[in-house]
Amino acid sequence: MYAMIAGGVDTGWTFYVPYSTHYSNTHVIATGLGIFITGFSSILTGLNFIVTIHKMRAPGLTWWRLPLFVWAHYATSLIMILGTPVIAVTVLMVALENGLHLGIFDPALGGDPILFQHLFWFYSHPAVYIMILPAMGVISELVQGMSRKQIFGYSFIAISSLAIAMLGFLVWGHHMFVSGQSTYLGLVFSGISFLVAIPSAVKVFNWTATLYKGSISLDTPMLYALGFIGLFTIGGLTGLFLASLSLDVHLTDTYFIVAHFHYIMVGGAIMGYLGGLHYWWPKISGRLYPEAWGRVGAIIIFAGFNLTFGPQFILGYLGMPRRYHYYPPEFQILHVMSSAGASILALGYLLPLVYFTWSMRYGPRAGANPWDARGLEWEIPSPPPTENFVGQPVVTARTYEYGSEEGATVV
Amino acid sequence: MSSPSETPPVVAHHPALRHHFDTMATQKDSSLLGMWVFIAQEIMFFGGMLAAYAIYRNVYYDAFAAGSHHLDVKLGTINTAVLICSSLTMALGVHAAALGKRKATVLFLLLTIALGSVFLGIKVVEYADKFHHDLVPGPRYSAESLHGAHGEALSADTARHSELFFALYFGLTGLHALHMIIGVPIIAIMAWKAGHGRFGPAYYTPVEVTGLYWHFVDIVWIFLFPLLYLIPHHA
């Protein structure tokens, strides 16, 4: 915050050396300190989740009975624990380099600027999985809750989260195909990057299979979940284009990358969070939001999103570089579509803000379980009291048991 | 299902048991796992800089050997011994706390602080020597006091690259020292609490968790010592 008030930084978000060490006259060290402190919060959050999941489960809540949202958080926490410290020490080295010119990243003194990129992406690639994995966990909850059916392939979904977390640490080099790293290294990173598609596809297939013969209700959370599945699939498949070494050389730093990234991070992560927010809103606030407006919002966001980022795939494929304000006139129409889509998207984002605020005061009371869903959180009043459960809950079956009327737990 | 308005039964429990834990055993297990996970991230933290060390030592072996040659192996060895002894006193302190021996706990924790301070004192002497010989990376850095394995002068390139060795030397030992500087006051708080009878056989988790941290800091040095001080001594 200090750095922003004092004039910002001129390094770009990646802090690449030598911009951040030699050519920056702005507040690199202050920003670095901010990143460092934020890192502590990431690490301690991850630590909290891991310890809680290991040691503080309710009686009977075995690993294979955990909600998939919890599995996703477990995988995310592992990344936060193992990745964040690396970016912390990297930022520390950049700050030292910026302040004292030690030479660690300076070729003039024998250092190597590419080393910075390696350390940077070692964290920053897993960091995008930190964003998407919890959203995947949310989608697992939404799909089973809204089709009122035991999730298909529970253990595969759980393990695929861990597989994504693990593979995420082995693919950082695919951000550096054009950095001058060895071609053989590029080949290996390209291969491992393809492997990430396997656990991701396992999830998509299992979600789709859960829908089969489910009793589906197209309420707002489900619309977001379906939107997620579609957009994430497009984002994932275009990721395969970028994982191909030769094609990536053509597509690097174009709008194609921008579109791919946003299909995963906005079409994926943000759709997941919005879906989750709608699903658990009655639990959080104790009130129902207006369902019709919720559906309108979900559809506007889906349409606006595709109009914004769909054309960018074409622009990028045709060679439009990112971060340029000037382009050939034949690109004009696609740029206009993209900008129009962004405005629609903004409208879609404002809608939930309005009706959520409205519902906090005027929404009808939700009751404990408005979706008739299964799981521990739906057995307590909404919003949950400070002491969640009056007695110790004992879990007797997997979270998603829709067969029996008694539900999965005894209190 | 019981109704939400019922108040949970109040059961007498140990005063150190926090409300979100059921038993002292769960609380202790959770704290210990938390420290182990923290240590895992610490390993990655040091790992980033050790990766830089590994790469540059491979590329500029001569410069690193010359830089390492200048370090005082005698002081480094003494410090290694001091730190291992401090780990021993720390372990004895945890043991005494587990047995509920108040005086012994305080004594061993104070001994650990003393040994830790000796280590940091010797580190100050070593750092002062580097300042004296202009071996601190930065505008005043000069490799004039360095020489090769047989006393010969360094080539211009080797001399230039030796600055990287000292950058990593100060980076790694500095981070390690910082961890000790954080550890010493924590042990002091533990000693104070132990002196006031806060710990006993039923509850000594904070001492044990502090011990884990201290042993980790010790282990880091066990790695740093050969990596930094003994480069030219390896065949």
Question: pLDDT per residue over B164-222, tens digit each?
Answer: 999 999 999 999 999 999 999 999 999 999 999 999 899 999 999 999 999 999 999 99
If asked whether residues A246 and A156 sit together in one domain, one would say no
The closest of A211, A142, A69 to A371, measured between CA atoms, is A142
* A404: in domain: no
Distance CA B169, CA B76 (A): 13
If asked whether residues A204 and A240 sit together in one domain, one would say no
Residues of chain A above pLDDT 90, percent: 59
Distance CA B197, CA B194 (A): 5
Q: Where are the domains of chain B?
A: 36-229
Digitized pLDDT (tens) for each residue of chain A, 411 residues in all: 666 665 566 666 777 766 676 666 667 788 888 888 889 999 999 999 999 999 988 888 889 989 999 999 999 999 999 999 999 999 898 888 877 877 888 888 888 888 989 999 999 999 999 999 999 999 999 999 999 888 999 999 999 999 999 999 999 999 988 888 888 889 999 999 999 999 999 999 999 999 998 889 999 999 999 999 999 999 999 999 999 988 888 998 999 999 999 999 999 999 999 999 999 999 999 999 999 999 999 999 999 999 999 999 999 999 899 988 888 899 999 999 999 999 999 999 999 999 999 999 999 998 888 888 888 888 888 888 888 887 778 887 777 776 544 444 444
CB A328 within 8 A of CB A273: no
List phi, psi (to 5°) of A25. Answer: -105, 10
Burial letters A221-230, b for 16+ CB under 10 A, else e: bbbbbbbbbb
The closest of A366, A374, A409 to A391, measured between CA atoms, is A409
List, for residues A36-52, the tens digit of each pLDDT value: 888 999 999 999 999 99
Residue B139 at interface with chain A, using a CB cutoff of 8 Å: yes
Q: How many A×B Cβ pairs under 8 Å?
A: 119
* A385: in domain: no
If asked whether residues A181 and A257 sit together in one domain, one would say no
- Its pTM stands at 0.88
Which CATH number does the domain housing residue A193 bear? 1.20.210.10
Q: Which of B20, B37, B46 sits opposite A81 (nearest CB)?
A: B37
At A181, the amino acid letter reads Q
Distance CA A110, CA B13 (A): 62
Residue A383 at interface with chain B, using a CB cutoff of 8 Å: no
Distance CA A237, CA A260 (A): 9
Q: Which two tokens stand for residue B62?
A: 């001569």
* A386: in domain: no
Beta-strand (E) ranges in B96-190? none
Q: Which two tokens stand for residue A30?
A: 């202050």
* A366: in domain: yes
For A100, the domain range is 1-216
Residue A409 at interface with chain B, using a CB cutoff of 8 Å: no
* A131: in domain: yes
Q: Which of A93, A104, A110 sits opposite B160 (nearest CB)?
A: A110
CATH number belonging to domain B36-229: 1.20.120.80
Torsion angle defined by CA atoms of residues B90, B94, B100 and B102, in that order, rounded to the nearest 10 degrees: 20
Q: Count other Cβ atoms within 10 Å, centred on residue A1.
A: 8
* A394: in domain: no
Alpha helices in A244-328 (DSSP H): 245-251, 255-264, 271-285, 291-318
If asked whether residues A257 and A208 sit together in one domain, one would say no
Residue with tokens 């994932």: A236
Residue with tokens 């054309």: A311
If asked whether residues A209 and A99 sit together in one domain, one would say yes
Distance CA A104, CA B227 (A): 17
Beta-strand (E) ranges in chain B? none
How many structural domains compose chain A?
2
If asked whether residues A303 and A189 sit together in one domain, one would say no
Give B170-174's long-range contacts (Cβ < 8 A, gap of 24+). B170/B127, B170/B130, B170/B136, B170/B137, B171/A93, B171/A96, B171/A102, B171/A104, B171/B49, B172/B46, B172/B49, B172/B50, B172/B53, B172/B224, B172/B227, B172/B228, B173/B123, B173/B224, B173/B228
List, for residues A49-108, the tens digit of each pLDDT value: 999 999 988 888 889 989 999 999 999 999 999 999 999 999 898 888 877 877 888 888
Q: Which of B8, B30, B47 sits opposite A56 (nearest CB)?
A: B30
User: Which chain A residue is nearest to residue B25, measuring alpha carbons?
Assistant: A55
The burial of A162, by beta-carbon neighbours within 10 Å (0-12 exposed, 13-18 middle, 19 or more buried), is given as middle
* A223: in domain: no
List, for residues A184-219, the tens digit of each pLDDT value: 889 999 999 999 999 999 999 999 999 998 889 999
Tell me the average pLDDT across B76-91. Answer: 96
